[in-house]
């Protein structure tokens, strides 16, 4: 059975963030992930992880003004210094929290900017971040995100991510493969996972439609989990879904896999 991590941004969101670590531990999760730790003290988060014996398996680099609708700045010309400062801040947190990998959100393509310039900016930023993180033994990930949920998101398909990884030409850049986003944009889940598994360092899940827990939609998670096990995937799978009712009552899917 795959190792499952609770996404604390999506799960247990009925309680304050710092109380979600206990919730995740109480229902049996051994790993957690979340969008960002930067609004909280790294030492305080570390205390929660240690107390509840949880691994932090992933969080994101700073991604601009999230509350204003930004979803990453890595492709944005004119924000390079901000991006680099964010890499330094993320490394500081990761060193305290023991985070083994950080996800870089590409951001939304601004209107009127040449896509070639956006791509060049993204690739240059990834080359910088991959190198800086490699010095600290931290993996860098990029995540294709569907353009129905986030219109204009620059990185939206697996093949696009692979082409960018090839161009960055770093041994420290991988795909964060979100099954929900991939289903919405391209389907072909099993074949894609098998084809690119060596480039996939982290997987996330939610069902479609609705982005709720497995078993509520069209994706055959029983089949996918067996495939992932058979292929020998050693990483975590992040449970990044919106509970249909509440998290605890919606965890029955885990027992069925």
Are 209 and 235 a contacting pair, CB within 8 Å? no
Residues 70, 143, 167, 218: which is the catalytic one? 143
Tokens (6 digits) for 34 = 């979340």
240 carries an active-site annotation: yes
Q: Answer yes or no: is pLDDT of 114 > 80.
A: yes
How do residues 1-58 score in pLDDT, each as one tens digit?
779 999 999 999 999 999 999 999 999 999 999 999 999 999 999 999 999 999 999 9
Average pLDDT over all residues of the chain: 96
Q: Percentage of the chain surpassing pLDDT 90?
A: 93
Across the range 88-111, mean pLDDT stands at 98
Lowest mean pLDDT among 13-17, 96-100, 135-139, 177-181: 13-17
Are 46 and 55 a contacting pair, CB within 8 Å? no
**Phi, psi for residue 245 in degrees, rounded to 5:** -120, -80
Q: Which of 198, 215, 200 is nearest to 251 (CA)?
A: 215
Q: How far apart are CA 118 and CA 113, in angstroms?
A: 7
Are 126 and 170 a contacting pair, CB within 8 Å? yes
Q: Answer yes or no: is pLDDT of 255 > 90.
A: no
Domains detected in the chain: 3-255 (3.20.20.150)
How do residues 213-245 score in pLDDT, each as one tens digit?
999 999 999 999 999 999 999 999 999 999 998
Report CA-CA distances (Å) from 31 to 7, 11, 99, 150: 9, 13, 11, 27
Tokens (6 digits) for 134 = 């490699």
pTM equals 0.97
Residues 82, 120, 213, 240: which is the catalytic one? 240
How do residues 83-98 score in pLDDT, each as one tens digit?
999 999 999 999 999 9
Across the range 71-94, mean pLDDT stands at 98
186 carries an active-site annotation: no
């Amino acid at each position: 059975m795959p190792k499952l991590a609770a996404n604390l941004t999506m799960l247990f969101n009925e309680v304050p963030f710092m109380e979600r670590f206990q919730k995740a531990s109480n229902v049996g999760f051994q790993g957690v992930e979340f969008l960002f730790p930067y609004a909280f003290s790294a030492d305080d988060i570390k205390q929660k992880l240690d107390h509840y014996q949880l691994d932090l398996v992933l969080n994101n680099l700073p991604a601009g003004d999230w509350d204003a609708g930004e979803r990453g700045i890595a492709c944005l010309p004119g924000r390079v210094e901000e991006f680099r400062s964010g890499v330094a801040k993320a490394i500081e947190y990761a060193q305290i929290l023991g985070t083994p990998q950080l996800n870089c959100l590409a951001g939304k393509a601004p209107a009127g900017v040449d896509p070639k310039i956006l791509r060049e900016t993204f690739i240059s930023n990834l080359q910088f971040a991959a190198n800086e993180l490699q010095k600290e033994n931290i993996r860098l990930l990029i995540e294709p995100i569907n353009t129905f949920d986030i219109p204009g998101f620059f990185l939206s398909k697996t093949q696009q991510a692979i082409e960018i990884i090839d161009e960055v030409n770093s041994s420290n850049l991988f795909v964060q493969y979100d099954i929900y986003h991939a289903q919405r944009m391209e389907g072909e889940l099993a074949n894609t996972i098998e084809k690119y598994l060596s480039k996939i360092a982290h997987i996330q899940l939610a069902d479609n439609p609705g982005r709720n827990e497995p078993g509520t939609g069209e994706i055959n998670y029983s089949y996918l989990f067996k495939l992932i096990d058979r292929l020998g995937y050693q990483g975590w799978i992040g449970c990044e879904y919106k509970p249909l009712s509440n998290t605890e009552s919606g965890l029955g899917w885990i027992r069925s896999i």
